[in-house]
Chain A
Amino acid sequence: MISIRLFFISIFFLFLSNFSLAAKVTLDSSGWGLEEGKSCVECHSKSSSGLTHQWRNSAHAQANVNCLDCHQAYEDDNDAIEHEGHVIATIVSPKDCGRCHEVEYKQQKGSVHVKAVSFLKNNMPLLAQHFGGLAGNNSGCAKCHGSEVKMRGDGTLDPATWPNTGIGRINPDGSKGSCSACHGRHQFSKAQAREPSACTHCHTGIESPDKAVYETSKHGMLYAAHRDEMNLKSDQWVVGKDYSAAPTCVTCHMGTAGKMKSNHDVGMRDAWNLNSPVSEKQYLIIFQDGDKRELSTTEALPRRGETIKKLDGTEAKVKMVASPKRRRQAMMKSCLECHSKGFTKNSMQQFDDFVELYNDKYGKPAKAIMQALYDNNLLTPLAFDEPIEHTYWALWHNEGTRARHGAAMGSANMAWWEGMHEVATNFYGKFLPQVKELAGKKGDEIIKEHILESEYHEWLNRTQEATNVLGFTKESNDEN
């Protein structure tokens, strides 16, 4: 029954996702080009000529969209300031952009990207505060995740929170997100946003190693060789029609593919959560108020109309649910523009198998062992005050994430040498010895229960079996 329901919901979801990404603004052009805003550039050409130079080369300038069209504010607005006789706001929020770019605003509004600040708050308070502190958070975490911009009573923006173009920024007008996270101001070039660097600006390094993954994948290889054939400046940018040299992040994660139109909800086509100790497939819950959230398939599937918690803690009614299968199908639609069905299916199979292997061999046992250590009071509840907690963190967060992202996007090196090989080295060479050291006899019991009896690790029992991987065979041992 559930699968039939999901099928219909999926069809509906497909229909809904049929927005055009690079939607042409269809509003009447009398809605912009404010008369009072025409003179801004005269002064700004002198005071900040780089900025106006960028604007002059933008599609905005061509369409007569001037400074005030985006920066205008009303006196009552939370972030309104007086500037040379005009009431303006420094920050142009997605809500402001959405005055013209309605479709994109609607799409990004419920996306995983705009949850980036609450994700940080809910999951990483210790990292942000204890590892970093306020200044560390402001220059690190918040630069990608976004800050909660504070407009002070004296009309200045709190320097701890601004400047910031983090993707989940909480704006003074209450809206979430930052268009300029990907669309660098003030040119807002289409070509720039289609470049992988628009994403890898943040999706790089241990937390989200996608820059290295993409660059060492076949897709990245082709992109580097054929960048000049990518037709990046084209008005419309549909794979197979306007370009085919290589896919970028945009192509697969938000681009148009066949009948599936592009979408600014970038995480929509992701079936797995790859940034957790154990990967789980995720439902996408769409609420009646337009907001969305993910929910692990290990949890009860909410019914349509049911009221459940949103990520911000408030409750809302479920409008529909997209299954991981449907999300995967959406992703595969973009693959199919260049690859055959069989090729695509098998590639996804290899990816799924890899994630499941990681889960079963390392993710789940490591998590269970840690749980046993906490349950037996062998660790304090506080995270990161004991060495093994750092080891565990590196295992799934740094190495495990790299491995899974590597498998997802076809980087052999990241999947294996920089990924699962690192996980294994850590697991056998550091994590398990630390368990023994910390827990003594209890540690041996825990390891026996979770590791030595597992088919993945039973090789540890065969201590007399010699291989030549380290250059020592049984014969060479006997000779000595």
Chain B
Amino acid sequence: MMKIDHFLPAFITRHVLFALIFGGVLGVGFILFLIEFDHYTSTEEFCTSCHSMELAAEPYRNSTHYNPRSGVRADCGDCHVSEGVLAATWDHFMGSKDLYKQLFGHDYDDPVINALHLPEAAFDARKWFKKRNSATCKKCHVKEAINGERPDTLQIHMEDAKDKTCIECHYNLVHRKIPDEKTFKRDKWNAMIEEEFDLEKGTAKKLLEQ
């Protein structure tokens, strides 16, 4: 009967070998788990399992990113989660603060509370895209291949938008329209929400202070 230690250096004992194989299998399993985890947690189904996200999904379902003529549907994670298992995991890890807020923060399930806090969420999301040079947009959209209905669309993208990243111009595409942070006016936003939900003037401010 041949002994394993005939083929291996002395420090690889049986226990070490066992640990290596076990660890390797576990590691591969973990990576596979992460891939599957990232994949699943990037779906609309998962995201909207929090009721507050259902409110963000409503306008999304009416957008062209949900219903493009081509049928190529962008899922939540396609835009909001980076590519690559490490980056995706990191994004999900950071995103867990949303879960924390859902559980311990304001009552985001309430459409009014949700709408009142939405602008800040949008500003953060826009910064996220900008910081990544609109990387998730570019997974599908290639600047050099943007042939719009107008003959000049490609030219505009190649010349005038040469040094720009997608999100700088293309915001307010999918979710509820929110002004740019520079021109955002909290009192006007509050007034609009109050009108929309038939609330007394000043209610929004009180709700935000709570």
Contacts and interface: CB of A to CB of B under 8 A. Distances in A.
Interface stretch (B18-26, B35-43, B86-94, B173-181): B173-181
A47 interface: yes
A156 interface: yes
A42 interface: yes
A155 B152 contact: no
A49 B152 CA distance: 10
A47 B152 contact: yes
Interface residues of B, number: 25
A152 B155 CA distance: 33
B18 to A, nearest CB: 61
A82 B169 CA distance: 9
A326 B179 CA distance: 52
A313 interface: no
A155 B156 contact: no
A82 B180 contact: yes
A69 to B, nearest CB: 19
A43 interface: yes
Given A84-B169, A152-B192, A46 B179 contact: no
Interface string B142-174: 000000001011011001110000001100000
Sorting the interface of chain A by its residue count into under 10, 10 to 19, 20 to 34 or 35 or more gives 20 to 34
B153 to A, nearest CB: 8
A152 B195 CA distance: 11
Contacts of A46: 150, 152-153, 155-156, 160
B182 interface: yes
A308 B156 CA distance: 57
A394 interface: no
Interface string A69-109: 00000010010111011010000000000000000000000
Interface in B97-124: none
Interface stretch (B49-57, B72-80, B183-191): B183-191
Given A43-B160, A46-B160, A85-B168, A153 B189 contact: yes
Interface in A18-43: 39, 42-43
Nearest to A88: B183
B156 A81 contact: no
B193 interface: yes
A151 B182 CA distance: 16
B159 A42 contact: yes
Contacts of A42: 159-160
Contacts of A49: 152
B192 A154 contact: yes
Nearest to B155: A46
A81 B160 contact: no
A22 to B, nearest CB: 35
A82 B183 CA distance: 7
Interface of B: 150, 152-153, 155-156, 159-161, 168-169, 176-180, 182-185, 188-193
23 contacts: A42-B159, A43-B160, A46-B150, A46-B156, A46-B160, A75-B183, A78-B185, A80-B183, A81-B180, A81-B183, A82-B179, A87-B182, A87-B183, A151-B188, A152-B188, A153-B190, A153-B191, A153-B192, A154-B176, A154-B177, A155-B177, A155-B183, A155-B184
